[in-house]
Amino acid sequence: MAVNRLFLLLVIAFELCANQQSKAEVVRRLEKPALQTLALSASPINDTLSARTGVFIGPSDTQIQFSGQSMKINKEENDVFSVRLTTTEFNLEANSPFGSRMLKIKSNSAKEAMRILFNLNSNARRETKFHLNNCKIEIEKRENGTQTEYKARVENCADEDGFEKYFVLDLNFKSGDASQIYSLDLNGPDIQRVSKYFKYAKTYYTSTERDTYYTILNNSALEADEITITNFHFTVSSKSNPSLFSDDLYSTYYWNYYI
């Protein structure tokens, strides 16, 4: 009897261990962004000054930064806030990356951030439809031996609608060098650019599994070579019409979830 009981206990213990190993932890449950854009508008003031207004929703710890001339934030009810921005640069050169037209919004409690790069050439207008608000993002984490595997799933956020989705990781090497890698098609021609880092961190997607993205960290290899990972996030980005003379209100729009 005692032997039978011991056997039963061993079986239970073994199954518990096996379950533990394969059980995925939900890092972020399938849901829409906590940071959302409700409206953007452009209103030129005069020949040298241009204004942009944004209305957003976000948790109470939401922080905002703007690289342009001035920013005025108005907190309204129900986590809605509006931001009025002015910038003196609204010529074509100002549309170079990181000119004075980048708005950054971040919530540490939601682990989310948005970056909006305004198109300063757009005429006075207002936009209230932002499809990214309907995207749903889920992230799971699974420990597998010395590997940590992350899987992101996205719904309502199709490539056909202009969205790009990928994990981003900054690898910092012992030598002081750093490399940024992001998920690429495992069977595509560009994968060679990042495959030399696969030993440490493999991030990819495949065409057979739609809207599913993976990152696999090899913890023993990372530790052995003293590589640290900073800035690990999942991004959904949307670029508007790339034409310099486009009338879109933004030229690029990023939503990040920090892991």
Ligand X SMILES: *[C@@H]1O[C@H](CO)[C@@H](O)[C@H](O)[C@H]1NC(C)=O
Q: Which residues bind ligand X (CB under 6 A)?
A: 22, 45-49, 144-145, 147, 149, 199, 218, 220-221, 224
Closer CB to ligand X, 48 or 241, in the complex: 48
Closer CB to ligand X, 47 or 160, in the complex: 47
- Decide if 113 contacts 258 (C-beta within 8 A): yes
Closer CB to ligand X, 9 or 16, in the complex: 16
State the minimum distance, in angstroms, from the CB of residue 216 to ligand X.
7
State the minimum distance, in angstroms, from the CB of residue 88 to ligand X.
9
State the minimum distance, in angstroms, from the CB of residue 215 to ligand X.
12
Distance CA 100, CA 94 (A): 7
Distance CA 248, CA 227 (A): 41
- Decide if 40 contacts 127 (C-beta within 8 A): yes
231's enclosing H/E stretch is: strand 228-239
State the minimum distance, in angstroms, from the CB of residue 137 to ligand X.
21
The runs of H, that is alpha helices, within 157-236 are 192-195, 219-224
Distance CA 101, CA 122 (A): 12
Closer CB to ligand X, 82 or 147, in the complex: 147
State the minimum distance, in angstroms, from the CB of residue 38 to ligand X.
26
Closer CB to ligand X, 45 or 92, in the complex: 45
- CA dihedral 190→192→197→200, nearest 10 degrees, is 90
Tokens of 229: 């990972």
Residue keyed to tokens 């682990």: 111
Residue least distant from ligand X (Cβ):
221
